[in-house]
Amino acid sequence: MRRGIAALAVVGAVGTAVVAAPAAHAEGRGDIRVVKTVVNGGGSVIVGVKNVKRFPVVMTIKDGSGVKGVADVSAYNATNGYGPVSYLGTSCRKSSSTTSVCTATMEFDPSWIDSYGSANEGWNANSVAGTWQVNATVQANDKDYWISDRIATFRMKRAATLTTDAAPEPVRKGGTLTVTGKLSRANWTDLKYHAFTKQVVKLQYKKPGGSYHTVRTATTDSKGHLRATVKASASGSWRWAFLGTETTMKVVSAGDAVSVK
């Protein structure tokens, strides 16, 4: 079921993808509760510009009479109330006479994001990214029920790409090696990748058989480009590494191996 824009006043902000009960706001009757929730295995939900993203919401639910099931699950941006996500249903397995673990499947389709809020003045599809919260309505065998407004929070992030090119190859020992690259991220308005500007990115190096370490940092320009020069002292591989933001995934480029002659 597609959900419209929720007009909600949300109190509180950032959390992790695993939250223990009780929820911040809830109502119902009886002793049924969601005691643990894990969204997408505890990681951020990363969405690009083409593929539909499905992710699980795993809830541990308890009631003295046993758990009947989950009536509804919803998710939306905790700051602005936008929630272009579909709830596809829930499956439950009983772990004891009083406890069940129920997995809800949610779906996020990037092709639908822009039209979701297009009727709103000033709407920007990219404002959907950020901290999201999960709601759920759960039911017990004895007809107890509980409507929880905030059983978990998680990050919904825009996908990113990062490239590396080191030149010249090979390079003479003591010569200058120029390492370039480009950082881009998904734009949900036109479903293309655009330059991610003014971002600090790490330039990393490793010797053959070794581990990467950071040599210096650089900042992306107005076209998302990166450029750094280093002195070539030994053969090895170079790459760029971006730590990500609250709304954009972290990404590491493939390494570019350079021989020093």
Span 178-204, pLDDT tens digits: 999 999 999 999 999 999 999 999 999
pLDDT at 4: 31
Residue with the bigger pLDDT between 38 and 115: it is 38
pLDDT at 6: 29
Shared domain check, 171 and 252: yes
Is 75:7 a contact under the CB 8 Å cutoff? no
- The last residue of one of the domains, among 97, 126, 156, is 156
Shared domain check, 143 and 182: no
Shared domain check, 151 and 89: yes
Shared domain check, 169 and 140: no
- The CATH code of the domain that includes 148 is 2.60.40
pLDDT at 25: 58
pLDDT score of 102 more than 70: yes
Nearest to 104 by CA among 71, 78, 82, 62: 71
Calculate what percentage of the chain has a pLDDT beyond 90. 85
Alpha helices in 86-209 (DSSP H): 110-116
9 within a domain of the structure (yes/no): no
How far is the CA of 192 from the CAs of 10, 159, 188, 195, in angstroms?
31, 11, 7, 10
Average confidence (pLDDT) over 47-52: 97
125 within a domain of the structure (yes/no): yes
- The last residue of one of the domains, among 91, 124, 156, is 156
Q: How confident is the model at residue 122 (pLDDT cuts 50, 70, 90)?
A: confident
pLDDT at 111: 94
Quote the mean pLDDT of the chain. 90
Shared domain check, 236 and 211: yes
Shared domain check, 140 and 125: yes
- The last residue of one of the domains, among 104, 133, 156, is 156
pLDDT at 13: 28
Average confidence (pLDDT) over 116-129: 86
Average confidence (pLDDT) over 132-146: 97
Domain containing 201 equals: 160-258
Calculate what percentage of the chain has a pLDDT beyond 70. 90
**Cα(77)–Cα(82) distance, integer angstroms:** 5
5 within a domain of the structure (yes/no): no
pLDDT score of 221 more than 80: yes
- The CATH code of the domain that includes 239 is 2.60.40.10
Q: Which two tokens stand for residue 238?
A: 């170079």
Shared domain check, 137 and 25: yes
Full-model pTM: 0.87
Q: What angle do CA 118, 120, 123 make, to 5 degrees?
A: 70
Shared domain check, 147 and 121: yes
Shared domain check, 166 and 119: no
